[in-house]
Amino acid sequence: MNEDDDLPPSAMEELDDMAQENRKQPENDTDVTVEIFDGVRGQDGSPVDPVRLQAEDSFCFRCHKDVPCWNECCHGADITLTPMDILRLARHFDITSREVLERYTVPAMWDKADLPVAKLKMSGADGKGACHFMTDDGCSVYENRPATCRYYPLGLASVKMKGADDKDEFFFLVKETHCSGHKETKEQTVAGFREEQGLEAYDDVNRGWMDILMKMASWNVLGGPWGQRLTPQTQKMFFMVSTDVDSLRRFVFETKFLETYEIDPEAVEVLREDDEILMKLGFDWMKNILFNEPTIGMKENVLQASISKARNEMGAT
């Protein structure tokens, strides 16, 4: 990696030690609900319809330039950018992800999960002004607008019930008082709305990231994975994996990553070019490091060396 990169080569060893420690631990089992896209743009109390919506459920909503509230929701918006949002904005402006972060975001912590995220920067000293992408005609990055803007006025939540193997996702409606789109008569299903908004391509890449947020929120009830708070180094690694695909590519190709993990040679070539697949690999790797999920396999010789090291540490012969 380059000298000025945030993550030194030793990051790999440190994180491997953490993964090794986690491999000795049992799974957790905690009830938790996390709102991933809360759809809340303004600060006006934003009433949420408490009804859970599934893909086939319908709701009435339409946003168009003739509504009296045109562009109101693009002021003071609290928008956490997803990995796919940053990738798409970078392509939109033909700049790097790092430049998107520097120009258009502010760093923040997702407290429920104790993980760092990037939020879309709003104008004004207090951050309550208009979004930098807002114009009189609407959103200037419309075809590459963030997932939260696409979801609005829907929210997406995830819930993991105690004893359940998988999380359950559901939707809900956010009815902000200024938003007159709810008075429109256009009826659509949640599935139809999601398709119209192009959300599947976003969710496909973001799912691994959402899984990590969800699981960390679950673990945080116990103080972190197996009661251990994440180190700043691990938090930094999560931020890099979820926001900076160029650094992630350097991490995969310029450290011992490919010597350590079993990756099909054909897949390695795809990873050189395909940002979306590279990010998915990054999330799989983080799930393995953080939660000991079998999402990525170590090479046999590395695994044996790791087992020997663990045995030596335990004083076994």
- 149 near ligand SF4, judged by CB under 6 A: yes
CB of 193 or CB of 291, closer to ligand SF4: 193
- 76 near ligand SF4, judged by CB under 6 A: no
Tell me the closest approach of the beta carbon of residue 313 to ligand SF4, in angstroms.
50
**Per-residue binder mask for ligand SF4 (CB under 6 A), 242-261, x = binder:** --------------------
- 63 near ligand SF4, judged by CB under 6 A: yes
Distance CA 37, CA 255 (A): 34
Distance CA 304, CA 308 (A): 6
**Residue 277, CA distances (Å) to 46, 72, 115, 257 in order:** 36, 36, 22, 16
Chain CA centroid to CA 165, Å = 21
Q: In the window 176-215, what residues touch ligand SF4 (CB under 6 A)?
A: 178-181
- 72 near ligand SF4, judged by CB under 6 A: yes
- 39 near ligand SF4, judged by CB under 6 A: no
How many Cβ atoms are within 10 Å of 165's Cβ, its own excluded?
7
Q: What angle do CA 197, 68, 192 make, to 5 degrees?
A: 20
Name which position in 51, 55, 60, 69 contacts ligand SF4 (CB under 6 A). 69
CB of 197 or CB of 228, closer to ligand SF4: 197
Q: Strand 168-174 relative to strand 187-189: parallel, antiparallel, unpaired?
A: unpaired
Residue with tokens 């945030």: 6
Question: Is 82 in contact with 147 (CB distance < 8 Å)?
Answer: yes
Tell me the closest approach of the beta carbon of residue 118 to ligand SF4, in angstroms.
13
Tell me the closest approach of the beta carbon of residue 84 to ligand SF4, in angstroms.
14
Question: What is the phi/psi pair of residue 105, to 5°?
Answer: -130, 165
- One-character DSSP codes across 119-153: EEPBSSTTS-SBBTTEETTEETTGGG--HHHHHTT
Tell me the closest approach of the beta carbon of residue 188 to ligand SF4, in angstroms.
14
Tell me the closest approach of the beta carbon of residue 190 to ligand SF4, in angstroms.
16
Tell me the closest approach of the beta carbon of residue 199 to ligand SF4, in angstroms.
14
CB of 130 or CB of 159, closer to ligand SF4: 130
- 154 near ligand SF4, judged by CB under 6 A: no
Per-residue tokens: 144: 């590459």
CB of 15 or CB of 190, closer to ligand SF4: 190
CB of 1 or CB of 63, closer to ligand SF4: 63
**Per-residue binder mask for ligand SF4 (CB under 6 A), 109-148, x = binder:** ----------------------x-xx----x-x---xx--
Q: Give CB contacts under 8 A, 24+ apart, made by 290-293.
A: 290/18, 290/22, 290/212, 290/215, 290/216, 290/225, 290/230, 290/234, 291/22, 291/215, 291/219, 291/225, 292/19, 292/22, 292/23, 292/25
| Termini Cα distance of the chain | 37
- 173 near ligand SF4, judged by CB under 6 A: no
Binding site for ligand SF4 (CB under 6 A): 63, 67, 69-74, 77, 131, 133-134, 139, 141, 145-146, 149, 152, 178-181
